[in-house]
A and B are shown apart, each in its own frame.
Chain A
Amino acid sequence: MKLNIDGLLVYFPYDYIYPEQYSYMLELKRTLDAKGHGVLEMPSGTGKTISLLSLIVAYQKAFPLEVTKLIYCSRTVPEIEKVVEELRKLMEFYSKQTGESNNFLALALSSRKNLCIHPEVSALRFGKEVDGKCHSLTASYIRAQRHADPDQPVCRFYEEFDSVGRQVPLPAGIYNLDDLKDFGRRKGWCPYYLARYSILHANIVVYSYHYLLDPKIADLVSKELAKKSVVVFDEAHNIDNVCIDSMSVNITRRTLDRCQTNVDTLQNTIQNIKETDAVKLKQEYRRLVEGLKEANVARETDVYLANPVLPDEILQEAVPGTIRTAEHFVGFLRRFLEYLKSRLRVHHVVQESTPQFLKDIFDKVCIDRKPLRFCAERLQSLLRTLEIADIADFSAVTLISNFATLVSTYSQGFTIIIEPFEDRTPTIANPVLHFSCMDPSIAIKPVFQRFQSVIITSGTLSPLDIYPRILDFRPVTMASFTMTLARTCLCPLIVGRGNDQVALSSKFETREDFAVIRNYGNLLLEMSAVVPDGIVAFFTSYVYMENIVASWYEQGILENIQRNKLIFIETPDAAETSMALEKYQEACENGRGAILLSVARGKVSEGIDFVHHFGRAVIMFGVPYVYTQSRILKARLEYLRDQFQIRENDFLTFDAMRHAAQCVGRAIRGKTDYGLMIFADKRYARADKRGKLPRWIQEHINDGSLNLTVDEAVHLSKHFLRQMAQPFKQEDQLGLSLLTLEQLESEEMLQKIAQIAHQT
């Protein structure tokens, strides 16, 4: 249908629309008009992606000079592919309606592992191997060497792309990962480099967060993207953690040992080159004196990670004299390494700020701040000069030099923690130096500054106001949308007591309590008898799950559950879990029914949807608080309190509740779907916890279901499931939660819609 969103003609590729989609588009339009940032929460399964795409594409078509590009960031590869498929649907609708052929170029970008078509390279299983192998075939100097020695192995796809691919831009169209591969195969061009090259002139780019948030990659890939782009972070409820991860470094003794070998190799290579090709080193030296970074523009194929710090922090000066010659630099690295080794020899935990660290390093080994800042830059130059083929071997020294650059660049927002052993095993020495970023706004700041509109959206962003605070930006719109429902298809229940009135909670004091564990088991057992097909249960942590499973096994609870359903359990091993997941789905499909025991914050809770019969009930055992004894977390909480005035407890609860909401939200993926959401912890009943759940879940928790016993919950579930199992047709929804164009345009509906958006 064609919609009129605040004066903008929007093509929407469906015959009906949910009221909240309309409302969402209105908010989005306002944000784009204001050229500002926005935070929008809308439940999953209400067609968030298609609303976003429809509106932004319409906006791009209407104001081609205002918004030139849409950069859509999602978290996982399947998500990315889904987005592109929805876009394809939209574009097909456009060309059907307007009769014009589509002149938009939209493409997905992913790592080499997902795009490589080289028969040998793509056969490798791990991303890192693929990257390394690709590099060994396509690095600029390797290709240069080939001119002298044509027998060297070559990637014909890259060569072909390099010689012809650049002249002709990728024809307009929608390219998913597989389409790119097909296109590459047809033309004989490397799809990965084709995609990386094409994102510069594409209208829509879909890729993962890292390409924008991790400065090491962003600088290579996304540096030249136009300023007038709209950036969308979908599934953004975890965006702060992604930011922090990309800026943090851990150094163990093993890293240092490997680094030592790397430095030795460097030394030897320098020695060799000096004997054979001294000119090369001299040239490099001259270049560095002149500060001409551009002189050796990093070729796109060289996989050296770019500078770990953000663009505006990179100095435009020449490399300082002390590390300019190759030998001096290697000597410098050695000194730095020795210093780190000495720091790791501590017997007690040390925590210090970056200035303290810099002062200490100056006192002990006379290393200045300035050469440290150039460490990453200088190492890259050296590696390039030495023409080292397999960069993967040098990951340790790269890590150390990145650390050096980071630690000397940022005086705030980071902390250094040296732990001589793990907390759980105090007798085994395993020293780790955590260089931990505490401020997610550091990594995302350049994104907010550079692009005119950044939209942060997800199904679970509550409470909305905390994101602008921790990411440090001023949104022009913040809105939370509910799910309009013709029937209440979700049933959140808070089970606070066992049948024997024992309070259920995963809090630390009662964690080992057998009565609680038994009652949890009882809850699962009873539910397994009532709920059809699939049940997903989430635990607060892996260790907790292991313990509970073990004691359920001893008490024979699992055996009884097996009478009703098969049991699958998430393990730390991703491949094993994938298999368990597939079998779980198979068991749901063939009617046997299954239970998946899983972990909040685990891979399953983040990336797997349990639509329809794959998840008729989700049980959240306990409140998924993060492990609060970790020093890194403590440091971060302190920082949040000092810098952003966010109380520790508020943040912890917020973090726990967003994960809980993520977990239970996995089961409802649309209005025709239905599912139970069981919060098995009495703490959920408290207002401070409950209030932090997304509005669309909160609405359906009534006061009667705040502190249920297991039996009561089973009773309510039975009732709910029986009701939901009745046929549900489109007509039932029409006019309430599903609108035709005429209904949408009626006065009273527009008024209703205005209420859907919950402004904050």
Chain B
Amino acid sequence: MASLSEEVLLVVKKVRQRKQDGTLYLMAERIAWGPEGKDRFSVSHLYADIRCQKISPDGKAKIQLQLVLHTGESTTFHFSNESSALKDRDAAKELLQQLLPKFKKKANKELEEKNRMLQEDPVLFQLYKDLVVSQVISADEFWANRLGDINSADSAVSNNKQEVGISGAFLADIRPQTDGCNGLRYNLTADIIESIFRTYPAVKQKYSENVPHNLTEKEFWTRFFQSHYFHRDRINTGTQDIFSECAKQDEKGLKSMVVQGVKNPLVDLLSLEDKTLDEGYGVGTTLPSTSNRTVKDSSNSAIIKRFNHHSAMVLAAGSRKGEAPADQASETSSTDGNSRDSDFFQPPVKKVKLQEAIEYEDLQRENRPKTVALNLKKSDRYAHGPVPLQSQHYSTSQDIINSVSYIQHEMANYKPNLTQVLSSTAASSAISALSPGGVLMQAATQQAINQMVPTDIQGELKHLYVAAGELLRHFWSCFPVNTPFLEEKVIKMKSNLERFQMTKLRPFQEKIQRQYLSTNLTGHLEEMLQTAYSKFHVWQTRRMMRKT
């Protein structure tokens, strides 16, 4: 049985499943159950497949543990050992609790990904063998460069999962249930906790500060639900409450949001009024000053504030992730010079909003689809691509027309000058000299390389090229060397190249020499390496000079 080699973490006997007695095994990667007296598992789930576990409430006659799978199926185990059923169940539950998150996190996801890539891409796999297995470069180095590419290239594929927002009512979903004796039970799932953390970063901070050194997780959440922070309508009573600080932080966050102001001038109520009446004028009933507001009033306004804050946070939590890459994109795009000053050219939000507000789309004739205007600072750069900073001579369209008509004219008047052509013998000898095998075509032997060189050598040469290319790519990517890290790397890469030459290229050269093939085959490889070395030397001498 395959599971023999697996590590068994826990064995619980007398567990019933579908009215059948059996034994529950918790192993390193899966949970399994086998009926009594048989040596195979009738139930086996990988931890990664399990979404969550549920347990029967305390005090119920049947002590059960239910596993819910991602597929929606569920399996229920009934712990039937009279004396220690509860203990058994709790032991299993505790262990599962520790194990499940590990598999959820998928820490090994990256590894899987690497594995998948190697399997899918034989060239890469060969390269990996050539470079990493033969210890030319370390595996980390190999992947450091690869994964970056992959992430950006495949992001559409691998990060395709859309960021899930937060339900506005996640707090409402935590329905308290009375447990019959003046207490309340709250059911928290990992999703809800995640929602709370994302919406209220202050709580997350408290959590990481206090759990597990000061409080257990359960105590933490108990306090959370007891705190006035959760029941915002209660007026602050206890100052020891760990969440009073959160409330203050929220307040601060709200204030900073308010201070930031709004981007859209059309909704800015502060600048709506042009000229407010001076103090003391007007019939407007003066607002009741805050000092004589009753407790009830201020608790009501606290609720209102809370809803505004909550909604804003939910909204922000949903969009936070999405914004980050957009920022990056704008950063990178701003380096090409074209869009550097683009924000100067973009009409300010205000203008756009105003135009939107006065537009009557149905009064205009065409409703042509709105396109995004290409925002070019230098349109000639768009048309011609980057050009060296030299005075350029462009031919005007008139010139072009002139020359075309001139050529047409020439062609029309073309008369072959038959007296000055080559003699037929000279012509035929020239043709034969230029034909394959002719005198002038001696150098064109490369075509025949696949005939001259045996296939195994060809394959080997190919691998060498790929490996050398990869190494050189690493080497060249270090330039310009502007960080100490790159410096280190370039030196390492140079030694890698040398090692490659020694361990791979030399034996190959000797091999083809032994087979009396033209050593020219590796000439180009050598050349590439030499270029790299000379670049390295130039860099090194320059560095030395700078140092001294």
Indicate if B135 sits at the interface (CB-CB under 8 A).
no
Task: Tell me which residues from 46 to 66 in chain A have a Cβ below 8 Å from any Cβ of chain B.
Answer: 47, 49-50
Q: Is the CB of A575 within 8 A of B258?
A: yes
Residues in B neighbouring A574, C-beta threshold 8 A: 269-270
Indicate if A569 sits at the interface (CB-CB under 8 A).
yes
C-alpha gap A564/B172 in the complex (Å): 12
Interface string of B254-296 (1 = CB under 8 A from A): 1001111111111111111111111111111111100010001
Residues in B neighbouring A14, C-beta threshold 8 A: 360, 363-364
Select B168's contact among A82, A245, A563, A575, beta carbons within 8 Å.
A563
Indicate if B534 sits at the interface (CB-CB under 8 A).
no
| A565 (CB) vs chain B CBs: closest residue | B168
Residues in B neighbouring A611, C-beta threshold 8 A: 357
Nearest-neighbour CB distance to chain A for B377, whole angstroms, equals 20
| B302 (CB) vs chain A CBs: closest residue | A550
Q: Is the CB of B280 within 8 A of A399?
A: yes
Indicate if A114 sits at the interface (CB-CB under 8 A).
yes
14 contacts between A and B (CB under 8 A): A14-B364, A211-B275, A255-B280, A305-B278, A546-B300, A549-B304, A566-B314, A576-B254, A578-B269, A579-B258, A579-B308, A592-B168, A608-B269, A670-B360
Nearest-neighbour CB distance to chain A for B395, whole angstroms, equals 36
Select A582's contact among B267, B272, B282, B354, beta carbons within 8 Å.
B267
Residues in B neighbouring A255, C-beta threshold 8 A: 280
C-alpha gap A577/B271 in the complex (Å): 12
Residues in A neighbouring B168, C-beta threshold 8 A: 562-567, 592
Q: Is the CB of A208 within 8 A of B275?
A: yes
| B258 (CB) vs chain A CBs: closest residue | A575
Q: Is the CB of B269 within 8 A of A210?
A: no
Interface string of A537-569 (1 = CB under 8 A from B): 000000000110110011010111011111111
Nearest-neighbour CB distance to chain A for B361, whole angstroms, equals 6
Among A549, A569, A630, residue most surrounded by chain B Cβ atoms (within 10 Å): A569
Taking Cβ atoms with an 8 Å cutoff, the residues of A that contact B are: 14-18, 47, 49-50, 76-78, 80-82, 85-86, 89, 110-111, 113-114, 127-128, 178, 207-208, 210-211, 214, 217, 241, 244-246, 248-252, 255, 305, 395-396, 399, 422, 424-425, 428, 432, 434, 436-437, 546-547, 549-550, 553-554, 556, 558-560, 562-569, 571-583, 585-587, 590, 592, 594, 603-604, 607-609, 611, 627, 630, 632, 670-672, 730, 733, 738
Given contacts A563-B167, A569-B307, A738-B362, contact A248 B267 (CB under 8 A): no
C-alpha gap A50/B319 in the complex (Å): 38
Q: Is the CB of A208 within 8 A of B265?
A: no
Given contacts A85-B358, A245-B282, A563-B168, contact A17 B363 (CB under 8 A): yes
Residues in B neighbouring A128, C-beta threshold 8 A: 278
Residues in B neighbouring A579, C-beta threshold 8 A: 257-258, 260-262, 308, 312
Residues in A neighbouring B261, C-beta threshold 8 A: 575, 578-579
Select B169's contact among A211, A559, A568, beta carbons within 8 Å.
A559
Q: Is the CB of A111 within 8 A of B275?
A: yes
Indicate if B453 sits at the interface (CB-CB under 8 A).
no
Residues in A neighbouring B260, C-beta threshold 8 A: 579
Residues in B neighbouring A80, C-beta threshold 8 A: 274
Residues in A neighbouring B233, C-beta threshold 8 A: 550, 553-554
Select B365's contact among A16, A549, A577, A607, beta carbons within 8 Å.
A16
Task: Tell me which residues from 302 to 330 in chain B have a Cβ below 8 Å from any Cβ of chain A.
Answer: 303-305, 307-308, 311-312, 314-315, 318-319
Nearest-neighbour CB distance to chain A for B495, whole angstroms, equals 53
Indicate if B299 sits at the interface (CB-CB under 8 A).
yes
Q: Is the CB of B315 within 8 A of A592?
A: yes
Q: Is the CB of A672 within 8 A of B362?
A: yes
Q: Is the CB of A547 within 8 A of B269?
A: no
Q: Is the CB of B292 within 8 A of A210?
A: no
Interface string of B191-233 (1 = CB under 8 A from A): 0000000000000000000000000000000000000000001
Indicate if B424 sits at the interface (CB-CB under 8 A).
no
Residues in A neighbouring B284, C-beta threshold 8 A: 245
C-alpha gap A34/B74 in the complex (Å): 85
Residues in A neighbouring B297, C-beta threshold 8 A: 546
Residues in A neighbouring B292, C-beta threshold 8 A: 425, 428
Indicate if B20 sits at the interface (CB-CB under 8 A).
no
C-alpha gap A630/B286 in the complex (Å): 12
Nearest-neighbour CB distance to chain A for B225, whole angstroms, equals 15
12 more contacts with CB within 8 A, not counting A437-B283, A571-B305, are: A49-B358, A81-B354, A245-B277, A251-B280, A305-B278, A395-B279, A563-B172, A578-B261, A580-B311, A581-B269, A672-B362, A738-B363
Residues in B neighbouring A81, C-beta threshold 8 A: 350, 354
Q: Is the CB of A585 within 8 A of B365?
A: no
Given contacts A210-B274, A550-B299, A590-B318, contact A578 B354 (CB under 8 A): no
Residues in B neighbouring A241, C-beta threshold 8 A: 283
Residues in B neighbouring A576, C-beta threshold 8 A: 254, 258, 305, 308
C-alpha gap A115/B315 in the complex (Å): 35
Given contacts A248-B281, A249-B280, A594-B311, contact A577 B171 (CB under 8 A): no
| B172 (CB) vs chain A CBs: closest residue | A559
Q: Is the CB of B270 within 8 A of A250?
A: no
Q: In the complex, which range does the number of interface residues on chain B fall in?
A: 35 or more
C-alpha gap A604/B268 in the complex (Å): 10
Residues in B neighbouring A586, C-beta threshold 8 A: 315, 319
Q: Is the CB of B283 within 8 A of A248?
A: yes
Task: Tell me which residues from 345 to 360 in chain B have a Cβ below 8 Å from any Cβ of chain A.
Answer: 350-351, 354-355, 357-358, 360
C-alpha gap A558/B355 in the complex (Å): 36
Q: Is the CB of B358 within 8 A of A89?
A: yes
- 7 closest cross-chain pairs (CB), A and B: A559-B172, A562-B169, A208-B274, A14-B363, A15-B365, A245-B282, A566-B311
| B355 (CB) vs chain A CBs: closest residue | A85
Indicate if B165 sits at the interface (CB-CB under 8 A).
yes
Indicate if B367 sits at the interface (CB-CB under 8 A).
yes
Nearest-neighbour CB distance to chain A for B368, whole angstroms, equals 12
Given contacts A114-B271, A208-B274, A592-B165, contact A568 B283 (CB under 8 A): no
Q: Is the CB of B301 within 8 A of A571?
A: yes
C-alpha gap A78/B304 in the complex (Å): 28
C-alpha gap A477/B237 in the complex (Å): 64
Select A127's contact among B275, B281, B308, beta carbons within 8 Å.
B275
Q: Is the CB of A550 within 8 A of B305?
A: no
C-alpha gap A125/B307 in the complex (Å): 28
C-alpha gap A149/B286 in the complex (Å): 45
Given contacts A114-B274, A245-B282, A395-B279, contact A571 B288 (CB under 8 A): no
Q: Is the CB of B278 within 8 A of A399?
A: yes
Nearest-neighbour CB distance to chain B for A630, whole angstroms, equals 7
Nearest-neighbour CB distance to chain A for B106, whole angstroms, equals 29
Residues in B neighbouring A730, C-beta threshold 8 A: 362, 367
Nearest-neighbour CB distance to chain A for B301, whole angstroms, equals 7
Given contacts A575-B270, A587-B311, contact A432 B360 (CB under 8 A): no
Q: Is the CB of A78 within 8 A of B265?
A: yes
Residues in B neighbouring A670, C-beta threshold 8 A: 360, 362
Residues in B neighbouring A607, C-beta threshold 8 A: 269, 272
Given contacts A111-B274, A395-B280, A576-B258, contact A422 B288 (CB under 8 A): yes
Residues in A neighbouring B275, C-beta threshold 8 A: 111, 127, 208, 210-211, 214, 217
Residues in A neighbouring B264, C-beta threshold 8 A: 582, 585
Nearest-neighbour CB distance to chain B for A528, whole angstroms, equals 10
| A575 (CB) vs chain B CBs: closest residue | B258
C-alpha gap A566/B313 in the complex (Å): 10
Residues in A neighbouring B263, C-beta threshold 8 A: 582
Residues in B neighbouring A567, C-beta threshold 8 A: 168, 307, 311
Q: Is the CB of A77 within 8 A of B271?
A: yes
Residues in A neighbouring B283, C-beta threshold 8 A: 241, 244-245, 248, 250, 434, 436-437, 632
C-alpha gap A609/B365 in the complex (Å): 25
Q: Is the CB of A581 within 8 A of B267?
A: yes
Q: Is the CB of B315 within 8 A of A583?
A: yes
| A606 (CB) vs chain B CBs: closest residue | B272
Interface string of B161-184 (1 = CB under 8 A from A): 000010111011000000000000
